[in-house]
C-alpha cells in the first residue's frame, strides 16, 4: 500500500512537473540502444538507408525516448516516480503499460525536453487479494523549437508482494485500461 | 508533422500500403536464450538501473526467483517486429501492455497481424496488433501500433 492515503494521491491528479531536460538523440546512443534491443536494422545506423526510406535523418527506435531516464537528462529530484512522491514501494512496483503517440518521428540530432502530468491514480483488488495501486503518468516531449514530438503514457502498478506471473497484471483488463 | 506532404516515405516498411489487408501477418522476430547480460546491456543503453533487473540478491530479497527483464526491453524487442514490418518514422502510435515477466533463459517470439486499414485520398492508415511470447511464460506482452503512409495523388486528381 502507498504510504499516503488514496484521497491525498487523487488530489494530486493534474499536477505537472518538468521531468526531462536536453535529452539529446546522439547517433552512438541510438546504435547502442538498437543493439540492446537486438535490432540490427541499418535504418538506425546508416543515413543513406534512412534517406532511401524517405526519412530526412536517421530515426531512433520507437521506444528510444525511454533514455530520458539517464540521470543527465533529469532535473534534480526526478526519479522512477517522475519526481511525484506517491509513496509506492519501489520493490513491488511494476510497469503495467507504456503507450507512445508520435506527432513527429524522433531523429538523431533532436534535443528534447519533457513535462510529466500525473494523469490518474486508482486502486483495485488483485485477483489473489491485496490492493493494487495504479499510477498513470503522461509525459509530453517537445523539440527545441517548441513543437510537440510525442506524448507518452506510463502506467505503474504497486502490488502488495512480488509478482511472478501474469494473474495480477491481467486485472488491468477488468478495469478497462486496455488499449 | 515533419512527414506531411512527403509521398516517398516508407520508413523502411516491408508492407505495401496499396495492397495491405486486414488479417495479413508480419515477419516473425525471434530472440533466443536471453541472459542477464541482455538485461544489463539494456540498463546501460536505456538508463534504467532498477536493480531488480540485474542484482540477483536484491531481486531474491524482494521475493522474485531471479532478476528479470525490464518491461521496456521486451517492448524494444516488440518494436523490432513493428519496424521490420510497418516501418519507423511513419508510426503515429506504439503501445504495449506487460502481462508477465521475462526471465533469464527465455526465448522470445514476436508476431502479429493487421487489425484495420483505412484508405483516404492522401494517406493509408494501418493498425496492427502484436504479441510477444516467451517459451517460459506464454504471452508476456500485447501491443498495438498505427502507421500512416502518404499516398501519391494520381495525375487526374
Most distant CA pair in chain B, distance:
69
pLDDT of residue A172: 40
For residue A97, give the nearest of B8, B9, B98 by CB distance: B98
For residue B151, name the pLDDT band (cuts at 50, 70, 90).
confident
Tell me the average pLDDT across A133-158. 96
For residue B77, give the nearest of A37, A55, A94 by CB distance: A37
- Pairing between β-strand A93-102 and β-strand B91-98 as defined by DSSP bridges: antiparallel
Residue of A nearest to B11 (CA): A53
Tens of pLDDT along A19-63?
999 999 999 999 999 999 999 999 999 999 999 999 999 999 999
Are B121 and A129 within 8 A, CB to CB?
no
Tell whether the model's pLDDT for residue A175 goes beyond 70.
no
% of chain B beyond a pLDDT of 90: 82
Q: How far is B30 from chain A (nearest CA, A)?
A: 10
pLDDT of residue B136: 86
For residue A177, name the pLDDT band (cuts at 50, 70, 90).
very low
Tens of pLDDT along A70-112?
888 999 989 888 999 999 998 888 899 999 999 999 999 999 9
CB distance from B44 to chain A under 8 Å? yes
- DSSP per residue, A28-79: HHHHHHHHHTT---GGGT-HHHHHHTT-SSPBPPTTGGGGGGSGGGSPTT--
For residue B133, name the pLDDT band (cuts at 50, 70, 90).
very high
Q: For residue B94, which residues of chain A lie inside 8 Å, CB to CB?
A: 62-63, 99-100, 102
Are B87 and A53 within 8 A, CB to CB?
yes
pLDDT of residue A164: 59
- A63 and B72 in contact by Cβ < 8 A? yes
pLDDT of residue A12: 96
Higher pLDDT, A127 or B55: B55
Are A6 and A121 within 8 A, CB to CB?
yes
C-alpha to C-alpha distance for B119 and B110, rounded to whole angstroms: 27
C-alpha to C-alpha distance for B110 and B112, rounded to whole angstroms: 7
Tens of pLDDT along B78-87?
999 999 999 9
Listed in order, strand segments (DSSP E) in chain B are 29-31, 91-98, 108-119, 123-134, 138-150
For residue B87, the Cα-to-chain-centroid distance in whole angstroms is: 11
Starting at the edge strand that comes first in sequence, how are the strands of the sheet with B123-134 ordered?
A: A16-24, A111-125, A131-143, A148-158, A93-102, B91-98, B138-150, B123-134, B108-119, B29-31
Higher pLDDT, A166 or B122: B122
CB distance from A141 to chain B under 8 Å? no
Are B140 and B133 within 8 A, CB to CB?
yes
Q: With CA atoms as reference, report the closest residue to B98 among B63, B56, B55, B69.
A: B69
Q: How far is A73 from chain B (nearest CA, A)?
A: 10
pLDDT of residue B7: 54
C-alpha cell at A8: 491525498
Amino acid at each position: 500500500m502507498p504510504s499516503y492515503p488514496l484521497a491525498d494521491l487523487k488530489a494530486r491528479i493534474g499536477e505537472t512537473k518538468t521531468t526531462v531536460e536536453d535529452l539529446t538523440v546522439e547517433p552512438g546512443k541510438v546504435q547502442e540502444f538498437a543493439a540492446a534491443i537486438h535490432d540490427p536494422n541499418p535504418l538506425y545506423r546508416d543515413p543513406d538507408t534512412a534517406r532511401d526510406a524517405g526519412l530526412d535523418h536517421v530515426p531512433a527506435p520507437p521506444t528510444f525516448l525511454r533514455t530520458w531516464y539517464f540521470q543527465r537528462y533529469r532535473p534534480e529530484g526526478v526519479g522512477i516516480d517522475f519526481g511525484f512522491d506517491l509513496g509506492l514501494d519501489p520493490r513491488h512496483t511494476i510497469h503495467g503499460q507504456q503507450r507512445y503517440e508520435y506527432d513527429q518521428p524522433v531523429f538523431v540530432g533532436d534535443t528534447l525536453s519533457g513535462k510529466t502530468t500525473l494523469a490518474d491514480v486508482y486502486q483495485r483488488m488483485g485477483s489473489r487479494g491485496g490492493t493494487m495501486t495504479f499510477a498513470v503518468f503522461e509525459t509530453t516531449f517537445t523539440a527545441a523549437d517548441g513543437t510537440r514530438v510525442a506524448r507518452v503514457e506510463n502506467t505503474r502498478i504497486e502490488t502488495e508482494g512480488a509478482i511472478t506471473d501474469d494473474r495480477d497484471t491481467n486485472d488491468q483488463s477488468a478495469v478497462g485500461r486496455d488499449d | 508533422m515533419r512527414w506531411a506532404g512527403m509521398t516517398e516515405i516508407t520508413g523502411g516498411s516491408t508492407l505495401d500500403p496499396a495492397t495491405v489487408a486486414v488479417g495479413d501477418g508480419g515477419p516473425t522476430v525471434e530472440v533466443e536464450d536471453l541472459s542477464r547480460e541482455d538485461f544489463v546491456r539494456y540498463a546501460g543503453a536505456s538508463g534504467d538501473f532498477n536493480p531488480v533487473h540485474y542484482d540477483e540478491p536484491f531481486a531474491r530479497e524482494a521475493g522474485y526467483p531471479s532478476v528479470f527483464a525490464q518491461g521496456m526491453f521486451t517492448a524494444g524487442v516488440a518494436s523490432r517486429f513493428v519496424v521490420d514490418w510497418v516501418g519507423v518514422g511513419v508510426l503515429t502510435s506504439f503501445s504495449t501492455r506487460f502481462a508477465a515477466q521475462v526471465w533469464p533463459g527465455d526465448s522470445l517470439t514476436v508476431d502479429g497481424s493487421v487489425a484495420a486499414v483505412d484508405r483516404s485520398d492522401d494517406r493509408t492508415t494501418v493498425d496492427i496488433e502484436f504479441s510477444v511470447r516467451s517459451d517460459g511464460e506464454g504471452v508476456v506482452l500485447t501491443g498495438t501500433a498505427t502507421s500512416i503512409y502518404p499516398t501519391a495523388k494520381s495525375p487526374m486528381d
